[in-house]
Amino acid sequence: MKNYDKVSKFLEIPREVVSNIPKITITGFDEILIENFKGILEYEDFFTRISTSLGNININGFNLKLNQMTDDDIIVTGKIENIDFENKN
Amino acid sequence: MILKLIFMFFAGYVNIVVEGFFIERFLNICRNKKIFIQDLQRENNTYIKAKILKSDFNEIVHIAKQTKCKVKIHKKSGIPFFINRYRKRKIFAIAVLVIAIFIFTITKFVWNIEVEGNENLSKEEIINIVKEYGINVGKLKSKIDTQKISNEIRLNREDLSWIGINIKGTNVIITVEESTKIPEIIDKNEICDIIASKDAVISKIIVQNGTAKVKEGDKVKKGDVLVEGVMEGEHTGIRQVHADADVFGSIYCEKEKKEEFVQNVTVKTGNEQKKNEICINNFKINLNKGVSKFKNYDTIVTNQKIKFFSNFYFPIEIKTTKYIELTNEPKKYSEDELKSKIETELEAELEKEYEVSKYDEKNKNRNVDIQVENDGLKVKLSYELKEEIGIKRNLN
């Protein structure tokens, strides 16, 4: 929240654009798009752990695939069972 | 997504298999070096599959060495690999390109001229007319200004009342409307003569104004003065007037022919032979050798231009010559048969010369004279055709 200054708030610029906090978009139960991620901590086909600036995102499921990985976004597809967050602070 | 796939297809991509214990590290380094990874899939603990761009592969190998992983290429796809695979077939690729360019340039020219709507003028004549104005086979299409040319022709040609030029594909379609010549109309007040329009015998002459120069039964030739535009009065003296008269003339025409009862008639034997030729402008290639094997034959020549779709003509023609064998066989005619045969022949000849069929039934007299000789028939066909022959001629 501290990166989100008053100017950006006034101009209604999305937070994930001005800072490096992640934006997570879940489409259905089989696709997660994570923008502004930092790295992959673990990757198995039943468990994926992705680190972001705020903490880690754990995704449990089956047949997880890392579909399209670029330098700041990643799409995880597969049968997703649950998601949980590990907050750093 | 589809856009990305198309991009990958054009740039070329590699399906790789990475094997090792530090795959997460490998992936994170890839991410830091901004390597684009698609369709990452884990097969088992130490084994992943992914798609990467061709240009990133060297770096991937480098990273794999760092992280102690093994990289194997599973499949290469995309245009750069495709070109590489077929790089030895240069001539084929060049030929395809050359043919494409050739077809493209060929369609820029006119290769066929079609004429529609002509009645009196033949197709060749009209093609010659448009040739003067710059439309001929082999001309660049873009250099033809159809609007300008058709306007010019309309102005300059009196026998064409309208002409339309359409370019469709490599085909030029010329639509013409022929105009009929209007006879010169002479004003009632002007002085004129009446002259004969044809060689004829005067059958009837009714003078309304002027002095008759001929009487009934006189033979006149084309251009002779029939009625002079002069009046002589006791009190007025000689004065010139607008001649007016109805002059009817009879035209006598006849034809005679003698034929024998027994004649040699040409009959088709049913044997045929075909020969094909390829013509490119004036350059010809014979596909079959030699001349016809028949002694007596008829030839039928058909030309066919090669075309694409309906309007893309090529400057290549296929000329088919068909030989039909004929033999002479004597045939005996009966009197009636021979008579009708000769009559139709004579009729056709007269039609050609005098256009007999144009006259009304009441204006023509048909006469057939038949003489039977010992070995043949002599038929004489004659027509008397009545027609108004006087036309006005301006004296000025």
- B19-78 pLDDT, tens per residue? 988 888 888 888 888 888 888 888 877 888 999 998 889 999 999 998 888 999 999 998
pLDDT value at position B95?
93
- What CATH number is associated with residue A51? 2.60.40.2000
Chain A residues with CB inside 8 Å of B40's CB? 43, 65-67, 69
Instruction: Note down the domain range covering A37.
Output: 20-87
Look at B36 and A69 and tell me if their CB atoms are within 8 Å.
yes
| pLDDT-derived band at A4, boundaries 50, 70, 90 | low
> Where exactly does CATH 3.30.70.260 map onto chain B?
2-84
Q: Which residues of B234-262 are buried (b: 16+ CB within 10 A; e: fewer)?
A: eeeeeeebbbbbebbbbbeeebebebebe
Question: How close is the nearest chain B Cα to the Cα of A24, in Å?
Answer: 18
Chain A residues with CB inside 8 Å of B4's CB? 68
**Bigger pLDDT: A40 vs B291:** A40
- B121-159 pLDDT, tens per residue? 888 888 888 888 888 888 888 888 888 888 888 888 877
* B274 vs B359: CA distance, rounded Å: 44
How many CA atoms, within 13 angstroms, populate the side-chain half-sphere of residue B228? 10
Helices (H), B192-334: none
Tell me, yes or no, if A5 comes closer than 8 A to chain B by beta carbon.
Answer: no
Q: How many CB atoms are located within 10 Å of the residue B269 CB?
A: 13
| pLDDT-derived band at A56, boundaries 50, 70, 90 | very high
> Where exactly does CATH 3.10.20 map onto chain B?
112-178
pLDDT value at position B284?
80
**Bigger pLDDT: A81 vs B178:** A81
| pLDDT-derived band at A26, boundaries 50, 70, 90 | very high
Tell me, yes or no, if A42 comes closer than 8 A to chain B by beta carbon.
Answer: yes
pLDDT value at position B162?
84
Look at A68 and B4 and tell me if their CB atoms are within 8 Å.
yes
Alpha-carbon separation of residue B189 from B49, B192, B244 (angstroms): 108, 9, 11
Helix (H, G, I), strand (E, B) or coil at B96: helix
Chain A residues with CB inside 8 Å of B34's CB? 70-71
Q: Which residues of chain B have pLDDT under 50?
A: none
Interface test with A, best of B24, B29, B44, B53 (most A CBs within 10 A): B24
Tell me, yes or no, if A65 comes closer than 8 A to chain B by beta carbon.
Answer: yes
- A58-80 pLDDT, tens per residue? 999 998 888 888 878 889 999 99
* CATH number belonging to domain B2-84: 3.30.70.260
Residue B47's closest chain A neighbor by CA? A44
| Residues contacting B70, CB < 8 A, separation 6+ | B18, B19, B20, B64
pLDDT value at position A27?
93
Burial zone of A12 (CB within 10 Å; 0-12 exposed, 13-18 middle, 19+ buried): exposed
Model-wide pTM > 0.90: no
Compute φ and ψ for B197, nearest 5 degrees: -95, -15
Look at B31 and A71 and tell me if their CB atoms are within 8 Å.
yes
DSSP string, B98-132: HHHHHHHHHTTB--EEEEES-SSS-HHHHHHHHHH
CA angle A63, A65, A68 (to 5 degrees): 165
A15, part of any domain: no
Look at A40 and B24 and tell me if their CB atoms are within 8 Å.
yes
Look at A64 and B27 and tell me if their CB atoms are within 8 Å.
no
Question: How close is the nearest chain A Cα to the Cα of B83, in Å?
Answer: 26
Report the phi/psi class of residue B199: left, alpha or beta, with left for phi > 0 and alpha for psi in -120 to 50: beta
A8, part of any domain: no
pLDDT value at position B174?
86
* B201 vs B247: CA distance, rounded Å: 10
Compute φ and ψ for A63, nearest 5 degrees: 50, 45
* A5 vs A19: CA distance, rounded Å: 10
Quick check: B177 and B119 in contact, CB under 8 A? Answer: no
Residue A70's closest chain B neighbor by CA? B36
* B113 vs B174: CA distance, rounded Å: 7
Tell me, yes or no, if A67 comes closer than 8 A to chain B by beta carbon.
Answer: yes
- Picking from B271, B270, B276, the residue whose alpha carbon sits closest to that of residue B289 is B276
| Residues contacting B224, CB < 8 A, separation 6+ | B195, B196, B213, B214
Residue B27's closest chain A neighbor by CA? A40
Helix (H, G, I), strand (E, B) or coil at B243: coil
- Picking from A17, A19, A21, the residue whose alpha carbon sits closest to that of residue A53 is A21
Tell me, yes or no, if B299 comes closer than 8 A to chain A by beta carbon.
Answer: no
* CATH number belonging to domain B112-178: 3.10.20
ipTM: 0.76
pLDDT value at position B182?
66
Rg of chain A in Å (alpha carbons): 14
Quick check: B299 and B96 in contact, CB under 8 A? Answer: no
Number of domains in chain A: 1
Quick check: B44 and B14 in contact, CB under 8 A? Answer: no
Tell me, yes or no, if A43 comes closer than 8 A to chain B by beta carbon.
Answer: yes
Tell me, yes or no, if A25 comes closer than 8 A to chain B by beta carbon.
Answer: no
Q: How many CB atoms are located within 10 Å of the residue B342 CB?
A: 24
Compute φ and ψ for A88, nearest 5 degrees: -65, -45
Look at B42 and A40 and tell me if their CB atoms are within 8 Å.
no
* B197 vs B226: CA distance, rounded Å: 10
CA B363 to chain centre: 40
* A62 vs A46: CA distance, rounded Å: 5
Inter-chain CB pairs, A–B, below 8 Å: 48
- Picking from A44, A71, A72, A70, the residue whose alpha carbon sits closest to that of residue A58 is A44
Interface test with B, best of A31, A65, A79 (most B CBs within 10 A): A65
